[in-house]
Amino acid sequence: MSGDEEARQREQEALAIAAEAGIHRLAIPTPFMVGRVNAYLIEDSPLTLVDSGPNSAKALDELEQALAARGHAIEDIELLVITHQHIDHFGLASILARRSGAEVAALDRLAPLLARFGQEAELDDLFAERTMLRHGIPPEIVTALRAVSASFRAWGSAVEVTRPLADGAALELRDRTLRVLHRPGHSPSDTVFHDQSRAILLAADHLIAHISSNPLLARPLDADGDYSGPRPQALLTYLASLEQTRAMELALVLPGHGAPIVDHVALIDERFRLHRRRAEKIRRLIASQPRTAHEIAQELWGNVAVTQAYLTLSEVLGHVDLLLRDGAVVEQERDGVVRFQAA
Ligand SMILES: [Zn+2]
């Protein structure tokens, strides 16, 4: 068997274990680079769907077909659970809730963001714009990216959370208890759901097998309106969250994209090594001469640092935060633009 076939077989085996626990992966199409997003149908009472996919006719159509293949209709969904604030995960939620009358559950601190999606997305863009200019991204690129972001907004939609969940709370279904755990980092609102008796974790984008879950720089959750406080340290937050997950006894992790994860400790250790290596690479670049975060991103990724300017900026700043914490680099600001230099 080829490596690919082996991987596919392992994936099918892991999905079979999930199915035995009544959890079925529905891979929903998105227009984004990441490809399909995983929604999970939990055949329990209430009939539960974890994440919805984006707000598009194609996503709705495929979701309907995937549900029908299991003998359900959208109208049958009784509980909709949202894992975090990214539109590929919740965009369709308002339509599903309207059609099914399902309760909508999400982390309590995420609820206001979902309820005011349009205004909040505008504030997110403002925050991103300021951050990009401050870290050396040219104004014309910032303007272009804003237009892209505004056009993506149609794949989201405001939704009212009828069942706000506290961090640590228990979500009781007939056949299982899901512990609600806030694990911020990839986004400020990342929430994972832990079935302790089956050692299964619904992890969304907190942990993904085939890509490292980029900790995107975002406004803090409770930021009211136009946020201009200290820069949130997304990677440091993320690494602390990963430590917590690493300490858990898990047989199966069901991620928001791609295949299930059966050895989360090995994968998390691999991520820790990746971030250490990347930080060291960035430390060397800064040691050779002071640079803005955007200049560092260009050194590392060339033109991708332009087309994916915010993503790569988040990646660089996350690792610079590690170096700042360790006292290896310092931040210098001149005319509103920040450069990093060796300490
Ligand atoms: Zn995400």
> What is the number of other CB atoms lying within 10 angstroms of the CB of residue 309?
22
Distance 174 CA to ligand 1 centre (A): 29
Q: In whole angstroms, what is the distance from residue 269 CA to residue 155 CA? A: 34
Burial of 222 (0-12, 13-18, 19+ CB in 10 A): exposed
- What's residue 69's pLDDT? 98
- What's residue 90's pLDDT? 98
- What's residue 327's pLDDT? 97
Distance 206 CA to ligand 1 centre (A): 8
Distance 177 CA to ligand 1 centre (A): 24
Distance 141 CA to ligand 1 centre (A): 23
Write the DSSP symbol of residue 335: T
Distance 204 CA to ligand 1 centre (A): 7
Please state the φ and ψ torsions of residue 159, each to the nearest 5 degrees: -140, 140
Mean pLDDT over the full length of the chain: 96
**In this structure, is the dihedral angle defined by the CA atoms of residues 322, 327, 328 and 332, taken in order, positive or negative?**
positive
Q: Who has greater pLDDT, 292 or 4?
A: 292
Q: pLDDT, tens digit, for every residue of 128-168?
A: 999 999 999 999 999 999 999 889 999 999 999 999 999 99
Interhelix angle 309-325/139-152, rounded to 10 degrees, is 110
Return the ∠ at Cα 227 (arms to 157 and 328), rounded to 5°. 115
Distance 261 CA to ligand 1 centre (A): 17
Distance 97 CA to ligand 1 centre (A): 21
What dihedral do alpha carbons 293, 299, 300, 306 form, nearest 10°? 70
Tokens of 171: 């979500």
**In this structure, is the dihedral angle defined by the CA atoms of residues 315, 318, 323 and 326, taken in order, positive or negative?**
negative
Mean of the pLDDT values across residues 321-331?
Answer: 97
Q: Helix/strand/coil (H, E, C) string of 70-108?
A: CCCCHHHCCEEECCCCCHHHHCCHHHHHHHHCCEEEEEH
- What's residue 1's pLDDT? 63
Integer-rounded Cα Rg, in Å, for the chain is: 20
Q: pLDDT, tens digit, for every residue of 184-242?
A: 999 999 999 999 999 999 999 999 999 988 889 999 998 878 888 889 999 999 999 99
Distance 270 CA to ligand 1 centre (A): 20
- What's residue 103's pLDDT? 98
Confidence tier at 99 by pLDDT (50, 70, 90): very high
Distance 258 CA to ligand 1 centre (A): 13
Which residues, other chains included, contact 287 with Cβ-Cβ below 8 Å and sequence gap of 6+?
342
> What is the number of other CB atoms lying within 10 angstroms of the CB of residue 60?
20
Distance 332 CA to ligand 1 centre (A): 31
Distance 341 CA to ligand 1 centre (A): 31
Distance 205 CA to ligand 1 centre (A): 5
Distance 314 CA to ligand 1 centre (A): 14
Q: Which helix or strand (DSSP H or E) is residue 297 part of?
A: helix 293-301
